[in-house]
Amino acid sequence: MKRANANDPVAMLQMGIRRYEAGDYDDAFRYVNKAAELGDAGAHFLLTNFYHEGKGVEKDVKKELYHLEQAAIGGHAKARYNLGCVEFNDDRMDRAMKHWIIAATLGYDSSLDALKDSCEDGLVSKEDFAAALRAHQDTVEATKSPQREAAEEAQKE
């Protein structure tokens, strides 16, 4: 709470998540919105859920999309992937492929699946798919460490 009161965006996001899980959507929105104002990409991504579900706020597709874009710009891989899905559903294939390539480069697995299907459908070149695959593998490899692997094993138990 001390860090949240000091306007630490990570602490505010965590407080918002706790309030959300407790069903206090108004307070959750207040914390998450403040974290987003302070530039937290994860907070922007979580705000898309608030606006999509209408919890703590009224449903608002424009605000949902705005926060999705802000999260993607901030480097949130799932937001970038989801933005690609929005573009795909709006039949803007070039933009969708670009978003999915960026998400793959950030290490987001689902974007590879989407790119693979798009490659098979001729929407993305084999060269672009191969480059995205290599970039994805490099990102995943760069995040590996003995400590991370031990933590993942501990979570499984």
CA distance 84 to 87: 5
pLDDT tens for 50-83 read: 999 999 899 999 999 999 999 999 999 999 999 9
pLDDT tens for 77-128 read: 999 999 999 999 999 999 999 999 999 999 999 999 999 999 999 999 999 9
Query: How many residues are listed for the chain in this entry?
Result: 157
**DSSP state for residue 16 in the 8-state scheme:** H
pLDDT at residue 1 in the model: 67
CB of 115 closer than 8 Å to CB of 97: yes
CA distance 21 to 88: 31
Residue type, 101: I
CA distance 124 to 93: 9
**DSSP state for residue 54 in the 8-state scheme:** T
Q: Is the model's pTM score more than 0.75?
A: yes
If one counts every other C-beta atom within 10 angstroms of the C-beta of residue 22, the result is 10
CB of 103 closer than 8 Å to CB of 68: no
